Amino acid sequence: MPSSAAANIANPATASDPRREEDSSGGATAAEQALAAMRATVFSADPMAPVPPIEPMIQAPSDSGAPVNASPGADRSELSDFIEISGLLRYDPAAITRIYAGHPQRLFRRLWQTLVPIALYLMGVGSDRLLGRLRGERVRERSREAATLVASLGPAFIKAGQALSTRPDIIPPVLLEELAQLQDQLPGFDSGLAMACIEEDLGAPVDTIYEHLEREPISAASLGQVHRGVLKGGQKVAVKVQRPGLREQITLDLYIVRNIAAWLNRNVGLIRSDLVALIDELGQRVFEEMDYLNEAANAEKFAQLHIHNPRIAVPRIFHEATSRRVLTMEWIDGVKLTNLDAVRGIGVDPDDMVEVGVSCSLQQLLEHGFFHADPHPGNLLALPDGRLAYLDFGMMSTVSRESRTGLIQAVVHLVNRNFGALSKDFVALGFLGEEVNLEPIVPAFESVFGQALEMGVSRMDFKAVTDDLSGVMYRFPFQVPPYYALIIRSLITLEGIALSVDPDFKILGAAYPYFARRLMEDPDPQLRRSLREMLYDGDEFRWQRLESLVNSASLQAQLDLEGLLDQVIEFLFSPNGGLLRRQLVEAAVQRVDALAWRTTLRLGRRLPPNLLPPGLRQRLPEADRRGEPLLDLEPLRQLAAILQDLPGFEPQLLLKRLPRVLSEPDLRQMGFEMARGLAERGVVRLLRDVLVSPA
């Protein structure tokens, strides 16, 4: 879209309507002029302006927990708002509905600020559709206008737009791309209000808590702003202060958006997903973000989970200077990962920092199940000591053990090109209902992933694949689980940071070693079955796949070699390892039989021909022509090479486990089966190759 079009949405009072340039008559219609005038009126209102106060007629809880009446004459400062007085601290749609149902007049101004511009936008889109102009670049322009409109409506709409940007089951691909660029940034608010908020929440004057606190914020976003300061004890800190009236602004917007979603679900048949559930999920997450005590707890939980990783830094929380609207944390001096010159300037390798970030993100997703859902460049800092600092723990999410296992199983089916099983994985992960017909989805998956897999999983373009997959999800009845939407947002953001450091970076290539290590180390029965599926093609063992897995796993710095060897032994002698044991016995029988036969041939060459049995006498010349080695040791050499390349491998690691292997009952059974196989082959050799002449 031309820059003038973008300006028109942001400030229509001073910009021309871009549709005038495309009108075949060369001038705007009367309807378009009217729309532009109405839009100018609507957008002149500040979306962050507090809603005009009315006298709250609901009961708010007192400190003792008993309800008290918020009297009509109660003094309400700029720091307080309607929702805070009501005592609503957690997202509760039913309670919010009751609050605003009793005060319809409170909605009027905000409805004017939101529904009218949305209606005007939809009228413009409808006009384009009727005139046959909604195609090609015009679709892109309208998508950009939609994203700009969302950004102009305030923090709740920005959050909703960001949530929708990861929902390809709801939003068409072009609009998806535009919403993905929404930035959670707004100008800072008055410093006097920030200082007053600190004093009100912490119950003491600012100068009794902080030795020094800068009045001007160093950064600001939709929910609050950050000031730099020093505590009385001399500790440098960052102080995050929430916007005054934010809870009321967010709650009112969520109430409006939720009702819009309910209307769309009832009246627009093409929408398959439950938009109300999406808004409720968003509301719960935003209310958690607005509670800085929750963010403090998230930061400490994150720090505890990664306490054994010396490359990860998390700011310390100062609880004595932290409340629901004020968060005081350790100040961390670092450099944004995307500022490559500055990163190198502190003596740190940007590529190494990206590797640390990717490894930590995979640990969060697949090991701990508790991950940072907003790893944008401002929240990841490179430190001079080589650590990577994580900031801002307001938006965190969890992944259940079952979902983590399901994601790894899906990767196995993807690697094996088993798209039928992959479609069933999407059912198990909650993307598709049990009743959905998977038959047309399987070829769609094959179309999306088939060509990308030609280069191997490690070289797949994650963004391109997710874009193609978004098209599939929009065409078929997919419903994206909230945790997955946040995972995709997190990984795409992380890949964007990594690409700024290394243009050839492939996040799936960086992630595959972690998947390989988890697949080989994790004792989970489902992952044991997935490992078997990965290593077998029918009844054939894929030795090259094993080598690839071991090599990939060895790239992980956290590889537990002893644990890996224990898992291999456990797998070999488990019920799932039965087929592998049989194949090892068969391979051993073949090798020993071949060795015995070639030894027989060598002995036969030393005897006079008249002493040789007829079959052996006639087969010697053929064996000489083939020039076969006495014993093919190449597989053993490859296995030895794999083991030697593993970091920290020593022969003693195998010798230490020899008593355990020798004590396994299945090993004795393998010996019996091997002896029986050799006896059978010996009889066949004697009758077929030694005593009987070839025909």
Query: Which whole number is the average pLDDT over 680-686?
Result: 78
* Higher per-residue confidence, 316 vs 71: 316
- Range of lowest pLDDT (141-155, 190-204, 511-525): 511-525
pLDDT value for 384: 96
Query: Which whole number is the average pLDDT over 17-26?
Result: 36
Average pLDDT of every residue of the chain: 77
Q: Evaluate if residue 82 carries a pLDDT over 60.
A: yes
Alpha carbon distances (Å) from 180 to 25, 171, 177, 279, 392: 35, 11, 5, 17, 20
pLDDT value for 171: 81
Residue whose structure tokens are 């946040």 = 486
Question: Cβ(199)–Cβ(205) under 8 Å?
Answer: yes
* Higher per-residue confidence, 138 vs 59: 138
pLDDT value for 496: 81
Q: Evaluate if residue 46 carries a pLDDT over 70.
A: no
Q: Evaluate if residue 417 carries a pLDDT over 70.
A: yes
pLDDT value for 661: 77
* Higher per-residue confidence, 14 vs 371: 371
Is 274 catalytic? The answer is no
Q: Evaluate if residue 318 carries a pLDDT over 90.
A: yes
Query: Which whole number is the average pLDDT over 440-450?
Result: 89
pLDDT value for 616: 65
pLDDT value for 450: 82
* Higher per-residue confidence, 128 vs 485: 128
pLDDT value for 597: 74
* Higher per-residue confidence, 416 vs 26: 416
Could you tell me the residue ranges of all domains in the chain? 190-242+291-331, 335-559, 575-690
- Range of lowest pLDDT (352-361, 416-425, 465-474): 465-474
Which CATH code is given to the segment(s) 190-242+291-331?
Answer: 3.30.200.20
Q: Evaluate if residue 541 carries a pLDDT over 90.
A: no
Contacts of 661 (CB under 8 A, 6+ apart): 569, 667
- Range of lowest pLDDT (46-55, 179-188, 384-393, 515-524): 46-55
pTM for the structure as a whole: 0.70
Q: Evaluate if residue 220 carries a pLDDT over 70.
A: yes
Residue 196: enclosing H or E segment and its boundaries? helix 191-202
Q: Evaluate if residue 468 carries a pLDDT over 90.
A: no
pLDDT value for 41: 41
Give the model confidence (pLDDT) of 632-669 as tens digits. Answer: 445 555 556 666 666 666 777 777 777 877 788 887 88
Q: Evaluate if residue 625 carries a pLDDT over 50.
A: no
How far apart, in whole angstroms, are the C-alpha atoms of residue 66 and residue 143?
Answer: 50
Residue 479 pLDDT class (50, 70, 90 cuts): confident
pLDDT value for 236: 97
- Please tell me what DSSP assigns to residue 655: H
Q: Evaluate if residue 53 carries a pLDDT over 70.
A: no
Structure tokens at 350: 């940007």
pLDDT value for 43: 40
Residue 190 pLDDT class (50, 70, 90 cuts): very high
The fraction of the chain above a pLDDT of 70, given in percent, is 74
Query: Which whole number is the average pLDDT over 337-357?
Result: 91
Q: Evaluate if residue 65 carries a pLDDT over 80.
A: no
Q: What does 412-473 look like in DSSP terms, one character per residue?
A: HHHHTT-HHHHHHHHHHTTSS-TTS--TTHHHHHHHHHHHHHTT-GGG--HHHHHHHHHHHH
The strand order across the sheet containing 335-336 reads 312-313, 388-390, 380-382, 335-336
Residue whose structure tokens are 């918020």 = 70
- Three-state DSSP class for residue 68: strand
pLDDT value for 465: 82
Left (φ > 0), alpha (ψ -120 to 50) or beta: where does 129 sit? alpha
The fraction of the chain above a pLDDT of 90, given in percent, is 25
* Higher per-residue confidence, 520 vs 167: 167
pLDDT value for 474: 83
Residue 25 pLDDT class (50, 70, 90 cuts): very low
* Higher per-residue confidence, 93 vs 506: 93
Catalytic residue among 201, 291, 374, 522: 374
Three-state SS string over 201-237 comes to HHCCCHHHHEEEECCCCCEECCCEEEEEEEECCCCEE
Question: Cβ(396)–Cβ(487) under 8 Å?
Answer: no
Residue 313 pLDDT class (50, 70, 90 cuts): very high
How far apart, in whole angstroms, are the C-alpha atoms of residue 214 and residue 188?
Answer: 14
Residue 98: enclosing H or E segment and its boundaries? helix 93-101
* Higher per-residue confidence, 436 vs 666: 436
Residue 214 pLDDT class (50, 70, 90 cuts): very high
Question: Cβ(227)–Cβ(239) under 8 Å?
Answer: yes
- Range of lowest pLDDT (6-15, 372-381, 550-559): 6-15
pLDDT value for 642: 60
- Please tell me what DSSP assigns to residue 313: E
Structure tokens at 161: 């737009």
- Range of lowest pLDDT (122-131, 359-368, 606-615, 619-628): 619-628
Q: Evaluate if residue 287 carries a pLDDT over 80.
A: yes
pLDDT value for 61: 34
pLDDT value for 530: 80
* Burial classification of residue 341, based on how many CB atoms lie within 10 Å of its CB (0-12 exposed, 13-18 middle, 19 or more buried): exposed
